[in-house]
Structure 1
Amino acid sequence: MMSDSFPTSASTPPPFGIVDPPAGQIRNSDSADVMSRIPGLPKVAEAVSNIDTAQVAAKVDKFKKWTIGTFKNSKQQLLEQMGKIEKTQDPEFEAQCEQLKDIHRRYGQIVVASKNFSNILAQMAEAEKQLSESFYQLSLKEEALKAQCTTTSETMRGVGEQASSLDTCLRFFISSMETVYNQTITDTLHTIYSTESARIEYDVDRNEISSAQESPNSKTLPAGATEKCQEKREKYENLKKDVRIKMRLLEENRISVVASQLEKLQTALAAYYSGNAKLLEKSVRDLNSIQIPQPSFIPNSNNFM
């Protein structure tokens, strides 16, 4: 009777070409062993020694402070909306800021509507020029209708050129309104948003100090908390002054520039719809001579912060 024979583990070849380590060497799957066997890759000890622990600790501490500050600010805003905590208010200043935000939204609507009108006008001008060309081509074949086709072609060509001129005026007007909307007003809005953030940070510290003073069981405030709160209050007040200056200068410049732009656009529209080609061309030249408002009227806003 033959007995079944099975190959021993020693005679079984390693699967998929894996070769056992030489005798006396123990296979180690640790990352340190892997790093040491890969050419060009530093060892763990060498990699760790190159880390600037002071820099890492500073970044971790900065991230920790940012996280705590963000949580406190979010909590402050939530409690304010729920009416469970007092917030610093300046009704007149806040009303002026909201008014500017509303004006900014309305300028955005003007930009969008003007672009839609310009696109339609450009398409119409192109269609009129194509129709003019079609009448001209027909006049070459229809001798009996040559005079009428030629007159119609010239009329349509003139109408198309006037539409192109109006579109030029409109595009210049759009460029100016985009500057007012995207840069001039936005510059002041950025300062307003910074002021709102500064107000929240000030109220966080102010309410923490107030709670500690009113409740004897509260935890002790860290050293310098009062001075830090005062610094944030001064930053908030300085930003408010900055906003007031910017809003005053913004209104003066905005009204002057936009009024001039609107007068020129009205002249161009009247010339186009009345068929006055010469007046329309003059409007194009006048629009090109108008200065577009600058993005900001404050040389350096940091001077007010």
Structure 2
Amino acid sequence: MGLLNRKSSIKLYRKNHATTVATRSPISHCPLEKCPRIDTAQVAAKVESFKKWTIGTFKNSKQQLLEHMGKIDKTVDPEFEAQCEVLKDIHRRYGHVVAAAKNFSQVLSQMAEAEKKFSESFYQLSLKEEQIKAQCTTTSETMRGVGEQATSLDACLKYFISSMETVYNQTITDTLHTIYNTESARIEYDVDRNDISAAANPPQGQQPKTLPAGTAEKCEERKLKYEKLKNDAKIKMRLLEENRISVVATQLEKLQSALAAYYSGNAKLLEASVRELSILQSPQPSFIPTM
């Protein structure tokens, strides 16, 4: 009798345990239809986009390499390319001016600080040396004036540097950005143009290749894009030259006046130069139209 009761208890325990496990099973709380699904169409679109980008990048790099080796022809506009090289060289030279002006300003600022400390040291000495107080005071005042003039010239330099940085980092750079975009568009156009030419004129003994549909239309679109960007770049270079010369000439005249006043010891003229430069607006890139 006791054996039967024990077996019945074991069966009941197993049944209850199985029910508990089934209840706690994560499957019952996470139905299959609620699990996240992968959007295969989106993945396929991304893969296709990456494939096109990879192929395009390879073709553009190959085009540039073959051009450099002289094994393939490219679209050439000698006048336009010469203008671009001149502007790139001017941009580099403005960078040198900005770097040199900053270095000069740093040295001048340090010198002005040293002159002021020199002046202060003579003033402190005059408080204790009664016999040479007049000489110490005169020297102190002279050095203080020289230090103030150095500070004024440094202020002029900072206005000049601000203007040159705007020309270097904004106005010329904006035009160069359009030039680089034009060069990229030219390479893309030449890739399609040379593909069409190679397909139509295969090596001797080979059959002409059939290109994908729409290749000619795409080539024409890239040609139009290249021509438009080139025209935009030409307009920007012309406007840039006209306005750059005017702006920089004005800044240079004011800087020359400040330098002449500083090295001649004309404190009043130097102060006037500082005021004039502070009034001048730094050249803005707004005279270059957005295209």
TM-score w.r.t. the length of structure 1 is: 0.83
Q: Is the 8 A contact 2:240 2:288 kept in 1?
A: no
Which amino acid is the alignment partner of residue 250 of structure 1?
Answer: L
| 1:264 pairs with one of 254, 262, 270 | 254
Which amino acid is the alignment partner of residue 240 of structure 2?
Answer: L
Aligned counterparts, 1:256-295, within 5 A: 256-295=246-285
Distance 1:146 1:204 in 2: 83
The residue aligned with 1:55 is: 42
The residue aligned with 1:81 is: 68
Uncovered stretches (5+) of structure 2, i.e. residues with no partner: 1-16, 19-25
Distance 2:274 2:32 in 1: 71
Distance 1:104 1:125 in 2: 31
SS of the equivalent of 1:292 reads coil
Comparing 164-173 with 58-67, which one deviates more in the overlay? Answer: 58-67
Aligned counterparts, 1:30-49, within 5 A: 48-49=36-37
SS of the equivalent of 2:74 reads coil
Distance 2:163 2:201 in 1: 55
Distance 2:32 2:142 in 1: 83
Distance 1:129 1:281 in 2: 18
Is the helix fraction higher in 1 or 2?
2
Distance 1:97 1:43 in 2: 65
Which amino acid is the alignment partner of residue 158 of structure 1?
Answer: G
Distance 2:268 2:171 in 1: 33
The residue aligned with 2:152 is: 165
The residue aligned with 1:15 is: none
Over 3 Å counting, the alpha-carbon distance change for 1:61 and 1:139 in structure 2 is: same
Which amino acid is the alignment partner of residue 134 of structure 1?
Answer: S
The residue aligned with 1:219 is: 209
Which amino acid is the alignment partner of residue 224 of structure 1?
Answer: G
The Cα shift of 1:298 comes to 3.7
The Cα shift of 1:63 comes to 1.2
Q: Is the 8 A contact 1:253 1:293 kept in 2?
A: no
Which amino acid is the alignment partner of residue 149 of structure 1?
Answer: C
1:105 aligns with 2:122: no
The Cα shift of 1:252 comes to 0.7
| 2:108 pairs with one of 121, 124, 134 | 121
1:234-275: CA deviation from partner (whole Å, max 9, x where unpaired)? 000000100010001000110000000000000000000000
Uncovered stretches (5+) of structure 1, i.e. residues with no partner: 1-22, 25-35
The Cα shift of 1:155 comes to 0.6
1:111-165: CA deviation from partner (whole Å, max 9, x where unpaired)? 0000000000000000000000000000000001111101100110000000000
TM-score w.r.t. the length of structure 2 is: 0.86
Which amino acid is the alignment partner of residue 170 of structure 1?
Answer: L
Distance 2:153 2:190 in 1: 53
Over 3 Å counting, the alpha-carbon distance change for 1:43 and 1:260 in structure 2 is: farther
1:248 aligns with 2:238: yes
The Cα shift of 1:290 comes to 1.4
Identity %: 76
Which amino acid is the alignment partner of residue 151 of structure 2?
Answer: S
Distance 2:42 2:210 in 1: 30
The Cα shift of 1:282 comes to 0.2
1:68 aligns with 2:58: no
1:198 aligns with 2:185: yes
